Amino acid sequence: MAIKYSEKVIEHFKHPKNIGQIENPDAQATEGSPSCGDQLSIYLKVNPETNVINDIKFESYGCASNIATASIITELAKGKTIEEAKNISWKKAADDLGGLPPVKMHCSVLSVDALRSAIKNYEEKHLGKHFDNSLSKKNIEKELNKIIYGKVGVDIITLKMVKYIGIREANKVIIEIEIAKDDPFFNEINDEIQERLEKFPNIEKIVVASVLEVF
């Protein structure tokens, strides 16, 4: 069945704002992976005295909704301070596009994720901030909070689908989620969990199990 987009999504897809690179950016970040279907890079120029984002551009490898959400997120962030831009939510981006189909809501999450990672890069390079990137349950849950169940367009933490997070010896991570393995979105969620948790240093193995199959 064909996916139906709002007029605003189609407009931002056909005529994206702020597309391209910034020469000598103050910060940049790339999130997603072409192998998973979507990748997004964000570039920032920030006023060092006011911390206002003076310029922002993006490069996208993905579908129409990926391009549209990147376009709207750069429009929302331009002219804001980095603190204000950090508070832009994926729901705000989707709402400003007139909504997204549930199966494409992950594109809005990816855009916000890339923006926040670029801001984090700026804070590390120019403000001397340090962030806790260790392999912990708290940080794992933050990553899982970005994974959307495409059937309803809501993240798997809010839906309480994650039933267990375990870190075993040798940095083996076990995630149990409440979704049947024959659910059409199981493999998509599994792949995204693997992709997101592989970012943690020294992680050795990631096991994703369906709690419906365990008991």
Positions marked active-site: 36, 107
Other C-beta atoms closer than 10 Å to the C-beta of 202 total 8
CB-based contact 22:29 (threshold 8 Å): no
* Alpha-helix runs per DSSP H in the chain: 7-14, 64-77, 82-86, 90-96, 105-126, 137-144, 186-197, 211-214
In the chain, the largest separation of any two C-alpha atoms, in whole Å, equals 57
Residue 44 CA to residue 85 CA, distance in Å, equals 12
Token code pair at residue 109: 């999450």
DSSP string, 59-103: EEES-HHHHHHHHHHHHHHTTSBHHHHHT--HHHHHHHTT---GG
Residue 161 CA to residue 154 CA, distance in Å, equals 11
Token code pair at residue 161: 């689908």
Strands 148-149 and 154-155 turn out to be: antiparallel
| Placement of tokens 């279907």 in the chain | 37
